[in-house]
Structure 1
Amino acid sequence: MINEPTSPVVAPAFWAVQLEENQHDSLTETSATIQFFGAGLIGLEMQAEAKTLKTIGGDVSEVNLGDTISSSTKPIIQIGDGVIGAWGADEMDRIGIVTKVQFSLTGKSITGVEVEWKIIFPHRIAFESDVFDSKRSPQSLNKELIDSLKLPLELEEEVTSEIFFKRARRRPDSTSPSRRRASGRSMGRSGGGDPPPPPPPDSDGDYEDMFYAEDTDDDSILTGDIVTEPGPARAVQLFFGTNRIPTGKSDWGEYYGNEYDNELREGICSVNIPPNKKQGETPRPFRIPWIYEFPEREDKHVMIKLIRELEERVFLDFIQKELSRLKENTGLIFVHGFNNTFEESAWRAGQLAWDMPFKGIVGFYSWPAIGSYLADEARVRASVEPFKKFVVQLLEESGLQKVHILAHSMGNVLLTESLNQLASDVGHKKLLHKIQQIVLAAPDIDQSIFRNSILPYFKDLGMRRTIYASDRDIALRASGVIRKRQPRLGFAGSHLFVSEWFDTVDASKVGKSSMGHSYVFQTREMLTDLHLLLNMGFAPKKRRLRDQLRENLTYWLYPW
């Protein structure tokens, strides 16, 4: 028990929680497990930008993500938040930090929290300002009110890269000096005393120690040891556009084939996220190529659960409805590369939304790649018109205020040519100001063509333009050979592309990935950087990348 606290409890948000009888499983001087069934929870959410506190919840049977919380307040209580232990309407005697968030069996509502008490006063303290009213109903509170409580509390002013990278450092496991382990939480919440990055849309579950990894000498480990919490599988809902023609098959994995036309088709797609999925992985059933693949299982595999093609107006109404539920009016469009099916692009988009996690809505565009290099290059160029229509719809009619676009490999041909054509069209140019971040991941584009034909228009698009390159990218090397050794835009080393208009990131030192080509999606380092870039809008220096000079131009090294 602490009688005279020497330092305040620091947290990004503080919650007043009732500790009256039958509202907790345990209550000691070090910890508590507090249940929220009928507890009259009042949550105080700190909004860094507005510097205000808002109440969430009320006298409810269960704190429900969809029904109880207004559409303007997405986060609920999270690991690392502060807790004021209250007795009745006007007394408290302890302050703690949330160490675990408990979810219902459906994963859609919070049923309780585990708290570690940092300060317990020798007697109860009366609130100098009302925190609860007699009905425990929601109230609007501001920062001055929380300050007037005169308690040893300190609200963090903002979530910074310094805080984020504290969580990225590995922690020792006292039981095994040579190994460090993650605690195995899902990606919806973060652990430790630091504030977490925001959860993805409709993400359920909690995650802890998001970027702690396991040290190992096994080179086969590609990602951090970060896993979805055991329990029911979760689902990520995506929007999509494609110019693939439906096959007529009922199997979701074969719903769209490789045949194509110039017509834009769009809709929604649900991707299953299994429990115990490691960050960066898309676990799939064992298969013998061209012979047999074992059946999919929701508890084991990333898989499509639903595809629903929608008419244009219904599709746009769906986007608008989703945005009305989110605090961030932001969207991310993913464009896949060479030799990817519709199904594979859905897996990747779902994995990105979950693993980053992204705090707006996420979608993807699937062009009809077939697996032949020259044929795919022709097909990607034939997809420019429907992709342009898809982008214009989202910018003009969906209600999105900010759009980020991330393209991989040959998908960058589709992205750059489409945006260049829109930028040269006076009628569409004014829409492009909504595009914020443009990410060219392992771009399979001829450098000379990019510099001379694409860059003149492209340099003025977006708030920031980023290229991820690597000299360990085997797939791009093969592409360079096919192209008579013409350097690709995703090359690093002596062929690294630098420009005053782009943030070029040399990611050659990040962990291994498939063919060295999918490092942006499969490695902890790159998912961390994508979070800071897309969710936080941080420049390279604030993301702790190391600046280097080449031809008197700056590029960036990662990891630092």
Structure 2
Amino acid sequence: MSLAGLSDEGWAMSETLRLLLALLDLGPRLKDLLGDKWPTYSDELLELAGRAGRGDDPAELRRTLDALVQRLLAETPAAELVRRAMQPAAPTISTETVVRRGRVPLPSQVVRPSTDDVTGIVTIPVFYGTDRARGGDAPASYYTGRRGEPAFGVAEVSVPTRGRDLGELTGPSWWRLEFSADPAKHVILKAVQPLGQDVFTPTLKDSLATADERDVLVFVHGYNVSFEDAARRAAQISVDLKFAGRTLLYSWASAADPKQYAVDEGTIEWSRDHFEAFLQLALTEIGAREVHVIAHSMGNRALINTLERATSWQLPAGAATLCQVVFAAPDIDRDRFVQLAAKFKGSARRCTLYASSRDVALMASKFVHGYPRAGEAGEALLVVDGVDTIDASLVDTSLVGLHHSYFGSKRSILNDMFSLIVQRLAPDQRFDLQAAGDALRKYWNYRS
């Protein structure tokens, strides 16, 4: 499928993201050219990147970006550079992937997944740990973007299994004239039940004992994510992977505001001890056989700092195995990842890094920090011993399907994660991957 085959909306968003990525990449040069005027433009570009990552109205994003570009074109020193960035790129051609997925029979209780075969809706219990402050009583506002004390509970999320693409985190959109959530179309956080740790642990243990597989999947979200969206994403990933164990979420106190990147950076560092305790609980206290972890974007900072210390943990006999660890588009300094990878080698059965040259959040992070991120592809692609690196630039690294149709591919890294986590296949056994690089720097990419 080429970009020419996209809908008008898809084509417009493709061009919007392409131009936004180009401007972010030009950040250092624009800063030199614009001097004191640059901070205002910088803030506006970062806010646009955050809105694009949330999947805001494509038409409104384009209007805002167009207005910003017109102002930049009026800045004589930067005008020629911006004009070059506006030149359209050649269409990207890729193929769709078909994944063989078996039906997973699921028990039906409040703390167990349930299915409605008539409506095509799966209800997933997401067992969570969080260090967010309490908010209101409604599920969507139950936890805020402020820091709080560690807390536990179960979030109940419904996920439609029909009419939704793999990886798509559907929700009502005013620009589609959808003003209320429809369980048959949208992923919905239905309820939040807080539990003290003394109740949470045995509840999760009992639920896991009834699962088809005694495995757990731990999801750690990235920057600019609310508790509501984190729970919805965790459930959506679980359903799309047909995961037969139990789904866990660690939701650190992201401000869920694209303008609060620096605040989120401080909070993820503050959260790492809380996440480490949550991961140890999953490994040692709930009767799990294997624990898999998926961290996305900035959430990788908590994961990688925990793995650095994991090799020194004294886990009790019978503890679970830390099996598949997935670094999805990690927003962490590339050189820092290299340092830590040497320390956490051997802490998990397999570590996999998905990199992309077209991830808007990573480009925004590089724009802020001035150094490559570990999740970048292209010239900065990171290959280290003990980690399988996959250049996923041809597919969607957002985990939740926000961008894949905009770039002409309906594939997501979730396709490959199914083979990795559920089927336990090495990269050379996964049909959609092909080896690249050389003997000293071997990595994998998607077949085009």
The normalised TM-score by structure 1 is 0.56
Q: Which residue of 2 aligns with 1:270?
A: 156
Task: Flag the structure with higher strand content.
Answer: 1
Q: Does 1:537 align with 2:424?
A: yes
Taking a change above 3 Å as real, the CA distance of residues 195 and 469 of structure 1, as seen in their structure-2 partners, is closer
The secondary structure found in structure 2 opposite 1:270 is: strand
Counterpart residue identity of residue 469, structure 1: A
Q: Give me the identity figure in percent.
A: 33
- The CA distance in 1 between the partners of 2:434 and 2:317, in whole Å, is 35
- The CA distance in 2 between the partners of 1:375 and 1:430, in whole Å, is 39
What pairs up with 1:81-120 in 2 under 5 angstroms? none
Q: How many pairs are equivalent?
A: 339
What pairs up with 1:146-157 in 2 under 5 angstroms? none
Please, which of 287, 297, 302 is the counterpart of residue 399 of structure 1?
287
Q: Is the 8 A contact 1:472 1:516 kept in 2?
A: no
Q: Which residue of 2 aligns with 1:142?
A: none
Q: Is the 8 A contact 2:284 2:316 kept in 1?
A: no
Q: Is the 8 A contact 2:357 2:393 kept in 1?
A: yes
Please, which of 84, 102, 116 is the counterpart of residue 196 of structure 1?
102
- The CA distance in 1 between the partners of 2:163 and 2:189, in whole Å, is 18
Q: Which residue of 1 aligns with 2:447?
A: 559
Taking a change above 3 Å as real, the CA distance of residues 448 and 341 of structure 1, as seen in their structure-2 partners, is same
What pairs up with 1:42-53 in 2 under 5 angstroms? none
Q: Which residue of 2 aligns with 1:177?
A: none
The secondary structure found in structure 2 opposite 1:505 is: strand
Q: Is the 8 A contact 1:267 1:309 kept in 2?
A: yes
Once the two structures are superposed, residues 125-158 of structure 1 have per-residue CA deviations (whole angstroms, 9 ceiling, x without a partner) of xxxxxxxxxxxxxxxxxxxxxxxxxxxxxxxxxx
C-alpha RMSD of matched pairs (Å): 2.9
Give the Å deviation of 1:429: 9.3
What pairs up with 1:21-170 in 2 under 5 angstroms? 169=98
Counterpart residue identity of residue 113, structure 2: D
Q: Which residue of 2 aligns with 1:489?
A: 374
Counterpart residue identity of residue 421, structure 1: R
Give the Å deviation of 1:205: 5.7
Q: Which residue of 1 aligns with 2:389?
A: 504
Taking a change above 3 Å as real, the CA distance of residues 513 and 316 of structure 1, as seen in their structure-2 partners, is closer
Q: Is the 8 A contact 2:158 2:190 kept in 1?
A: yes
Please, which of 189, 195, 208 is the counterpart of residue 310 of structure 1?
195
Give the Å deviation of 1:271: 0.4
Task: Flag the structure with higher helix content.
Answer: 2
Give the Å deviation of 1:375: 1.0
Farther off after superposition, 536-545 or 272-281: 272-281
Q: Is the 8 A contact 1:476 1:490 kept in 2?
A: yes
Once the two structures are superposed, residues 309-344 of structure 1 have per-residue CA deviations (whole angstroms, 9 ceiling, x without a partner) of 111121111111112212311000000000000001
Q: Which residue of 2 aligns with 1:389?
A: 277
What pairs up with 1:199-210 in 2 under 5 angstroms? 202=113, 204=115
Q: Is the 8 A contact 1:244 1:259 kept in 2?
A: yes
- The CA distance in 1 between the partners of 2:275 and 2:140, in whole Å, is 22
Give the Å deviation of 1:515: 11
Q: Is the 8 A contact 1:270 1:306 kept in 2?
A: yes
Once the two structures are superposed, residues 75-118 of structure 1 have per-residue CA deviations (whole angstroms, 9 ceiling, x without a partner) of xxxxxxxxxxxxxxxxxxxxxxxxxxxxxxxxxxxxxxxxxxxx
Counterpart residue identity of residue 252, structure 1: P
Please, which of 228, 250, 266 is the counterpart of residue 365 of structure 1?
250
Taking a change above 3 Å as real, the CA distance of residues 379 and 238 of structure 1, as seen in their structure-2 partners, is same
Q: Does 1:256 align with 2:167?
A: no
Give the Å deviation of 1:427: 3.4
Structure 2 unaligned segments of length 5 or more: list them: 1-95, 107-111
Give the Å deviation of 1:197: 5.9
Structure 1 unaligned segments of length 5 or more: list them: 1-166, 171-193, 207-229
Question: Which structure: larger Rg?
Answer: 1
Once the two structures are superposed, residues 143-180 of structure 1 have per-residue CA deviations (whole angstroms, 9 ceiling, x without a partner) of xxxxxxxxxxxxxxxxxxxxxxxx9559xxxxxxxxxx
The normalised TM-score by structure 2 is 0.69
Q: Is the 8 A contact 1:442 1:467 kept in 2?
A: yes
Taking a change above 3 Å as real, the CA distance of residues 320 and 471 of structure 1, as seen in their structure-2 partners, is same
The secondary structure found in structure 2 opposite 1:427 is: coil
The secondary structure found in structure 1 opposite 2:429 is: coil
Taking a change above 3 Å as real, the CA distance of residues 501 and 509 of structure 1, as seen in their structure-2 partners, is same
Once the two structures are superposed, residues 346-397 of structure 1 have per-residue CA deviations (whole angstroms, 9 ceiling, x without a partner) of 1101111111211211111100111311111100000012111111111111
- The CA distance in 2 between the partners of 1:368 and 1:442, in whole Å, is 20
Q: Is the 8 A contact 2:97 2:411 kept in 1?
A: no
Farther off after superposition, 238-247 or 545-554: 545-554
Taking a change above 3 Å as real, the CA distance of residues 388 and 203 of structure 1, as seen in their structure-2 partners, is same
Q: Does 1:455 align with 2:366?
A: no
Q: Which residue of 2 aligns with 1:69?
A: none
Counterpart residue identity of residue 367, structure 2: V
Q: Which residue of 1 aligns with 2:213?
A: 328
Q: Which residue of 2 aligns with 1:297?
A: 182
Please, which of 224, 237, 244 is the counterpart of residue 339 of structure 1?
224
Q: Which residue of 2 aligns with 1:39?
A: none
